[in-house]
Amino acid sequence: MLDNDTQAAISQMRDSDAIWILKDADGCVMLTSEDEDGVPIWSSKSLAKSWANEEWSDCEAVSIDIDTWIRKWTAGLIQDHLMVMINPSQFEEEGVVITPEEFAESL
């Protein structure tokens, strides 16, 4: 079960029909933790932009609508064995890490 903050973040994504990622000239930013590789996502543009500093200062926050996420991104993440990292921040570097399937079901 997801914690209340994560559920609220997912509700915000659902309500705004927007999942925010960071993108640079090479594509979508990825994170690597001790256990997992994944795509960081945020529930708002401002949260995504707050992560775009130092080594990621050349990144831009880009929104993906939920339908596109489910149709295209979920299958791609599963195929590439990547996780979804929800709302990473300076306080919680990886965010909440879940499978693409779990994330799609929660939307």
Amino acid at 61: A
The β-bridge relationship of strands 19-24 and 96-98 is unpaired
Q: How far apart are CA 32 and CA 42, in angstroms?
A: 16
Residue 98 · residue 69 · CB < 8 Å: no
What pLDDT was estimated at residue 72?
Answer: 96
* Range 32-40 average pLDDT: 90
CATH (domain of 76): 3.40.1350.90
Which residues lie closer than 8 Å to 6 by C-beta, 6 or more apart?
86, 87, 96
| pLDDT for 51 beyond 90 | no
Please determine, for residue 79, whether its predicted confidence score (pLDDT) is greater than 90: yes
Q: Provide CB contacts within 8 A for 26, sequence distance 6+.
A: none
| Average pLDDT of the chain, as a whole number | 93
Domain extent, residue 23, equals: 4-106
Domain count, the chain: 1
